[in-house]
Amino acid sequence: MNVLITGSTGFLGKHLVPKVIEAGHHVLELTRDADKSEKLFGITTSKYVVTDDQDALTDALDVFKPEIAIHLASYLTSSDSYVDMKRLLDSNLLYMMRLMDALKTSKLRFFINTGTFAEYFKGDANIDPAYLYAATKSASRYFVDYYSKAYGFKAATVIPYTIYGGNDSQKKIIDYIYESIITPEPVNMSPGGQVLDFIHVNDVVDFYLELISNYQSVPGKSVFKVGTGVGHTIKQLAEIIAQKSGTPCNINWGGKSYRPTDVMYAVADTSLQKDLFNWDAKVVLETGVEDYLRTKNL
């Protein structure tokens, strides 16, 4: 199939694109960084460099004829400053609407939107964004629903929980904990009581591939919360890292206060993908930490 992917050079995208190609699909990247795309994927993908020319974007998608679109591109920040507000709106809403508009005549079959677990501040099923970033992701669902209904393609939203594994330019909680075992100065962190669902990037990629293969059986407006269904506190993650590395973590727990918008419980309800595809995450946290430490040569 022809698969359109935005955010292809981001953390999740650079893991997903090779697997989509390996599965036999033809990939078109929408990118703003052709050099980075070339270094990552070479000639294995088709590439369209996004400009402000909406007609050119529409023409490119009409030529490619995407059957599946995976929208990963996003601007992520916990800040709600005016400068970040503009970037959040431009990247997470306006860009997505440009994409929807350009896809109107392409005969798209299935659009996969990507959200965040921070849309669920209280850890339940109710949308209650913890950050302005999360609010833009929640708002995007309404635009996806509108275009899906108006132009006759199926759509779903994927909510990845706390992704780890591989290397990323943007540090994750596991990276800060790891750094504590190789620094003489204690790393100040919150008390570490947040209960999070840590899912390995390979499992998240595997779920997107599952969706591509089985999109015809996905009910409209489906929301897939992609995690392991098992929660660990940040302190427990640190204990696992210390055990697997053989080195104690040098962390000053409580050196930072919890933020008012910290999500204290975020564990995925994985029932929908189990019911539809019998899909479960495969990588348990202990194994995933071992894999992570191998990438750090520990």
Residues in the chain: 298
DSSP state of 117: G
107, two tokens: 């005969």
This model's pTM is above 0.75: yes
CB count within 10 Å of CB 54 equals 11
User: What residue spans of 152-263 are helical by DSSP H?
Assistant: 173-180, 201-214, 234-245
User: What residue spans of 51-153 are helical by DSSP H?
Assistant: 54-64, 82-89, 95-103, 132-151
Same domain assignment for residues 104 and 251: no
- 71 domain-assigned: yes
- 201 domain-assigned: no
Same domain assignment for residues 155 and 181: no
Same domain assignment for residues 149 and 51: yes
- 203 domain-assigned: no
31, two tokens: 């990118």
State which of 111, 133, 160 marks the end of a domain: 160
Same domain assignment for residues 185 and 84: no
Rounded CA-CA distance 13/27 in Å is: 12
Q: Which of 232, 231, 233, 245 is nearest to 180 (CA)?
A: 245
Please answer whether residues 147 and 208 qualify as being in contact, where contact means their C-beta atoms are separated by less than 8 angstroms: no
Same domain assignment for residues 126 and 178: no
Helix (H, G, I), strand (E, B) or coil at 91: helix
Same domain assignment for residues 188 and 131: no
CATH number of the domain bearing residue 263: 3.90.25.10
Q: How many domains does the chain have?
A: 2
Please answer whether residues 95 and 136 qualify as being in contact, where contact means their C-beta atoms are separated by less than 8 angstroms: no
Same domain assignment for residues 151 and 27: yes
Please answer whether residues 106 and 69 qualify as being in contact, where contact means their C-beta atoms are separated by less than 8 angstroms: no
CATH number of the domain bearing residue 147: 3.40.50.720
Same domain assignment for residues 114 and 235: no
Same domain assignment for residues 150 and 241: no
Rounded CA-CA distance 236/103 in Å is: 45
Look-up: residue for tokens 């970037």?
87
pLDDT at 298: 57
pLDDT at 237: 98
Point out the residues of the chain with pLDDT beneath 50: none
* Domain membership of residue 237 as a residue range: 173-196+229-268+282-295
Amino acid occupying residue 288: G
Same domain assignment for residues 84 and 185: no
Same domain assignment for residues 262 and 141: no
Strand ranges (E), 7-127: 26-31, 46-49, 68-71, 110-114
- 78 domain-assigned: yes
- 204 domain-assigned: no
Rounded CA-CA distance 278/213 in Å is: 13
- 87 domain-assigned: yes
- Max CA-CA distance within the chain? 58
Rounded CA-CA distance 64/3 in Å is: 9
- 152 domain-assigned: yes
Same domain assignment for residues 192 and 106: no
- 216 domain-assigned: no
